[in-house]
Amino acid sequence: MPQSICVTCGTQFEESARPPDRCPICDEARQYVNPRGQAWTSIDDLRRDRRNVLVEEESRLTGIRTEPSFAIGQRALLIQTSSGNVLWDCVSLIDEETERGVRALGGIAAIAISHPHYYSSMVEWSRVFAGAPVYVHAADRAWVMRASPSIVFWEGETRPLLGGVTLVRCGGHFTGAAVLHWPEGADGRGALLTGDTLQVVPDRRHVSFMYSYPNLIPLNGAAVRQIANAVAGFRFDRVYGAFAGRVIGSGGRGAVERSVERYLRAIRD
């Protein structure tokens, strides 16, 4: 039986004889149901007319995005460490060409996901790469639509992974929303991989924060200060956002600090 994939958010569901009636991830305030109605596809269907593109972002960091763009359109990021590779966030499509390309870079030893909108086909990616553990914050457990023993529900505020990489719970966008700190990124100056918990905006000099991006619901000040406090203890110079080209190449820590101040001014009564 197929594993249905929501066309709007890209999340893969359990095997079933027919698609689910609804996608809980889309059917709530942070996302949306397509006005034409709930629609479904599958990995086999995606393989017919889409492909993944692997792009070197910097030494030992590779972006993976689907073309033509699908669902939310985020990219995954593969970090190569001396202890094994970590995939940050995920995309819905996995095919033989992608598998060969990733194996040529050393495969995947762990998968870490920022928040439910990017769960996509994380269990299928894990299955292809020998059951690599998938790290999801326990606060977002209810949003997992395809169960698997490979999923590790971590708790607390930080979780060290391979090669010095650390997951950091920030909250905000979702209760368990996380970012990934890579101390060896940016030529050793440190990089923060943020998904859209801290959204790199088009000027690539700032980040911003939202409860819902498509529905334009802002976060409150307390949530933004919580995010700022969560990353304050980490050294980083570069910030990689969720989408291709959304990178603050240098001065990332200062950019985050200025962005927090700018945001709090903007929402102040």
**Domain 3-267, CATH:** 3.60.15.10
pLDDT > 80? residue 213: yes
Give the residue carrying structure tokens 């970090």.
79
The predicted model gives 22-39 an average pLDDT of 95
pLDDT in tens, 146-178: 999 999 999 999 999 999 999 999 999 999 999
The pLDDT score that the predictor gives to residue 121 is 98
pLDDT > 90? residue 223: yes
- Phi first, then psi: give them for residue 246, nearest 5 degrees: -90, 80
| CA pair distance 93, 42, nearest whole angstrom | 9
| CA pair distance 262, 259, nearest whole angstrom | 5
The pLDDT score that the predictor gives to residue 269 is 81
Q: How confident is the model at residue 1 (pLDDT cuts 50, 70, 90)?
A: confident
The pLDDT score that the predictor gives to residue 2 is 86
Q: Which comes out higher in pLDDT, residue 111 or 35?
A: 111
Residue 167: other Cβ atoms inside 10 A: 25
Percent of the chain with pLDDT over 90: 98
The predicted model gives 220-230 an average pLDDT of 98
The pLDDT score that the predictor gives to residue 202 is 97
Q: Kindly list the domain boundaries of the chain, sorted by start residue.
A: 3-267
Residue by residue, DSSP assigns the chain as --EEEETTT--EEEE-SS--S--TTTSSTTS---TT---EE-HHHHHHH-EEEEEEEETTEEEEEEES--TT---EEEEP-TT--EEES--S---HHHHHHHHHTT--SEEE-SSGGG-TTHHHHHHHTTT--EEEEGGGGGG--S--TTEEEE-SSEEE-GGG-EEEE--SSSTT-EEEEETTHHHHT-EEEEETTTEE-TTSS-EE-EEETTTTEEPPHHHHHHHHHHHTTS--SEEEESSTT-EE-S-HHHHHHHHHHHHHHHH--
The predicted model gives 244-253 an average pLDDT of 98
Average pLDDT, the chain: 97
The pLDDT score that the predictor gives to residue 24 is 97
pLDDT > 80? residue 185: yes
